[in-house]
Amino acid sequence: MTNKRPALIQETDTEARDLARQLITNARHAALGVLDETGAPSVTRVAFGICENGQMVSLVSDLSAHSQRLKTEPRCSLLIGEPPSKGDPLAFARLSIAAQAQFLSRDDPSHSERRASWLTSHPKSALYIDFADFKFVVFTPLHADLNGGFGEAYRLTPDDILPKA
């Protein structure tokens, strides 16, 4: 069987940008890739959300291995976009975001506003958001790879994916 699929990376268009933003807006969790202490990749599940100022954030425990690793090595990757339970999971859109992580202190003046915003999108986190070890981490995107399904691949810039001003 011959392979007649199109070239791998397509030209970024409005549809691709809108799809990426929609995935980001709807995501409540992500698969987070960090480097472990040997330099190998390590993927775990984290909460994920967008602040009112448009920043991509997570609420993480200082006690988790991924938090410890991000403090040493802030380069990370976030996979968002969950497939439905039916159909080929690879036929549904997802976004891989290369990012730099930065932790925010609970004493930061922005904490209370961010906390309120987070509780709106992640109400169940009220159970632990005030534990002393839970902190917000901001992800600054470097670039992103959108896979809209088979043969629909785009390389996006931070401007392509961040909320419109």
CB nearer to a second copy: pick between 12 and 82:
82
Q: For residue 106, give the nearest of 139, 126, 136, 76 by alpha carbon.
A: 136
Site mask, a second copy, residues 26-65, x = CB under 8 A? Answer: --xx-xxxxxx--xxxxxxxxx---------------x-x
How is residue 7 written in tokens? 């070239």
- In the block, which residue shows the tokens 């006690």? 63
- Run of H or E including 158: helix 158-161
CB atoms within 10 A of CB 130: 10
Residue range at the interface with a second copy (CB under 8 A); choices 13-21, 90-98, 106-114, 157-165? 90-98
Name which position in 26, 52, 53, 83 contacts a second copy (CB under 8 A). 83
Both structure tokens of 24: 């980001």
- Does 157 help bind a second copy (rule: CB under 8 A)? no
